[in-house]
């Protein structure tokens, strides 16, 4: 009996609806101006099990705003893939869900977690945490308006006095969501202090909960991932900021969880190759102007902590010519050949 129980749990696969994600999936968080197709391609290649688009405004989708509509772009190699939407008006969110479904994602995700003032001041993102009945009603209407699995990303609460996530998660499950990702901070904390996963684990351990619960916040190394996995009872992890310019983190975490051994950090050639791929895909997707501009925010992290990189980094973020950018990346590979990242 003990053996069969162990074997059952060993083989347990996390599912969102009918989508199988493996035993302990690692998710790429939706990040504004970061989680676009060029970046997601790299994360998928390096082990992300499920990815989400950057969040998309419901009002923008309804108005057919070009920037919002372009964010709906997803590609077959990315699947399973979720599209995340946000908004403050229930009718607009319902309509945006129907538009989003036409892009044929595998999942529709609702953003109830963005802490940025321009979003929360309108009652969207984490702003809805001040109105839990509306949060539940909006979720129910979105679930009713699509056959796709609906998931939610949110926070512990609005502030220290309103950390109702255990009750909120249960109510959202009751109206039909298929998974929930929880960032271990309140909206008031923004990204300050340490993420508290205690309540995330409490959500998972609620005997009424049967959907997957994913933890998010402060996962920035294989060691930290192992520590959180062993300490808190969740179904998987969502990784955000630590993946920016470092898509290798997904496979590094998986390898460490499986073997207890750390993979060697990516070499300078691997970093340059990833950077080139990122730039080329951005050029293909956004064109020669936006493609160059929107890749700039990633260079610092690809070459983070390298002694002597400042001069090259300055050139990377000020050069507009794509051909010259590729030349600069080749120069970095040559100049830092054999660089020790350990």
Beta pairing partners, 86: 57
Give CA–CA dist 90/58, Å, rounded.
10
Look at the block and give the residue holding tokens 């493609």: 291
Q: 31, 54 in Cβ contact below 8 A?
A: yes
Give the active site residue among 2, 114, 121, 275. 114
Residues 6+ apart with CB under 8 A from 7: none
Give CA–CA dist 323/331, Å, rounded.
13
Look at the block and give the residue holding tokens 């502030």: 159
275 is annotated as an active-site residue: no
Residues 6+ apart with CB under 8 A from 36: 53, 54, 71, 282, 285, 294
Cis peptide before 189 (omega within 30 of 0): no
Give CA–CA dist 293/317, Å, rounded.
8
Q: Catalytic residues, which ones?
A: 114
């Amino acid at each position: 009996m003990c053996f069969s129980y162990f074997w059952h749990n060993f083989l347990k696969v996390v599912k969102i609806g009918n989508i199988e994600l493996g035993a302990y999936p690692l998710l790429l968080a939706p990040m504004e101006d970061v989680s676009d197709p060029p970046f997601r391609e790299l994360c998928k290649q390096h082990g992300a099990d499920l990815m989400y688009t950057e969040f998309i405004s419901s009002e923008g989708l309804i108005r057919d705003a070009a920037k919002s509509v372009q964010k709906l772009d997803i590609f077959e190699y990315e699947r399973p893939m979720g599209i995340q939407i946000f908004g403050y008006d229930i009718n607009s969110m319902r309509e945006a869900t129907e538009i989003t479904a036409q892009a044929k994602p595998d999942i529709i995700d609702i953003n109830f977690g963005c802490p940025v003032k321009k979003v929360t001041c309108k009652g969207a993102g984490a702003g809805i945490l001040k109105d839990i009945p509306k949060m539940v009603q909006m979720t129910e209407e979105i679930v009713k308006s699509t056959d796709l699995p609906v998931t939610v990303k949110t926070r512990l609460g609005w502030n220290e006095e309103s950390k109702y996530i255990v009750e909120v998660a249960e109510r959202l499950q009751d109206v039909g969501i298929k998974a929930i990702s929880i960032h271990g901070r309140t909206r008031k904390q923004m990204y300050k202090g340490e993420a508290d996963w205690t309540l995330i684990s409490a959500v998972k351990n609620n005997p009424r909960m049967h959907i997957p619960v994913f933890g998010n916040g402060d996962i920035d190394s294989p060691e930290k991932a192992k520590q959180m996995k062993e300490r808190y009872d969740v179904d998987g992890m969502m990784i955000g900021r630590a993946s920016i310019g470092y898509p290798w983190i997904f496979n590094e975490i998986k390898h460490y969880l499986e073997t207890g051994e750390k993979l060697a950090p990516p070499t300078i050639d691997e970093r340059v190759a990833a950077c080139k791929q990122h730039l080329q895909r951005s050029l293909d997707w956004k064109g020669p102007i936006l493609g160059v501009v929107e890749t700039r925010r990633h260079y610092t992290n690809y070459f983070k902590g390298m002694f002597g990189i400042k001069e090259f980094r300055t050139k990377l973020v000020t050069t507009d010519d794509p051909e010259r950018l590729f030349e600069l990346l080749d120069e970095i590979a040559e100049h830092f050949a054999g660089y020790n990242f350990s």
